[in-house]
Amino acid sequence: MHMETKLVLVEGLPFTGKSTLSEYAALQLGLNGHAAEWVYEGVMFNKYFPHVKAVLDQTEPVSEEALRADWSAFVQMVMSAPSMFVVDAAISYAAVNPLLREDRSHDAIVAEVARIAELCAPLHPRVIHLMGDQERLVRASIVERGDKWQKQLVDQSDATPYQKVRGRSGVEGAINFFNETQELMDVVLDASGWQTLTLDVTSADREANRQVVLSFLGIDEVDVEPPALAAPLQAYEGLYAEEDPEGPIGTLEVRMERGRLALHQSDMRLGLLVPVSATRMHLTATQVDVEFVVEEGQARRLVLLTSSGREIAFRRA
């Protein structure tokens, strides 16, 4: 890894695997002796880009000046930090998306990202850009994640001035919006001058893509032996009801998928669970862990542990 690099940006639209890949890249950098901090998408908004969060929450209109101020503060923070940062979709969601949603011209967006590129130049960024056939990726995401995910995609797309001006809505409208966003991202990154690796993730071998990413970062893959769990995988499957009857989640379900465990919430798949200790699993591409209570060979209870320190308890239904 080039020792001057302080920032790795993993860019892409929903369901391109950017969160999973950025988390993996940060882990492997750490295992190769490079202090690296993974900045998950949600943390990126809440901690480093308050203006973008306000725009997405529809409490503020988008402002290029405020956007640039967020980026300036972020760059200064990374410069002073002892570790490099691996960030999930910063250019995609904290630059291009909010401006495009508000129907800014492509030329104006390219110019704004060029200014952001100037701010980031001292960090010597490297960019991993995940692209793909949006028709296939969006429809596959709906099949995998369910109706709630479809509604979220459509509602977010339909609400934008960009879509309203063009009279577009529904899944087809969202696919068109994603296609045009992806095309613009390609132009933006080409104009930025950043060292960029572009990968097509439509039907590519994810393991092969990981190896290409490691080569781009100049590091080797370090295998991590997963810890033995307190019980066989089947012991964790089942429904778990939130112990607080007024809780916002209600019910979670742990399912077996091709020999691995996955967590589901009502009509949305949340992701795979990876063991990190005998009783704890990590929800991939998030900053959430799941602690299980196993009694007599059976998981009886689980607790969601968030990065903010919040704990949400569930009991087997």
Say what percent of the chain tops pLDDT 90. 88
Indicate whether 2 pLDDT > 60.
no
AA identity, residue 100: L
pLDDT for 284 equals: 93
SS3 of 186, please? helix
Indicate whether 206 pLDDT > 90.
no
Hey, what CATH class is 233-316 in?
mainly beta
Q: 289 - beta bridge partners?
A: 282, 305
DSSP letters, 25-67, are: HHHHHHHTT--EEEE-HHHIIIII-HHHHHHHTTSS---HHHH
Mean pLDDT of 85-89: 96
CATH number listed for the domain at residues 7-217: 3.40.50.300
Query: 46-71, pLDDT tens digit by residue?
Result: 899 999 999 988 899 999 999 999 99
Q: Are 121 and 6 in contact (CB under 8 A)?
A: no
Domain ranges across the chain: 7-217, 233-316
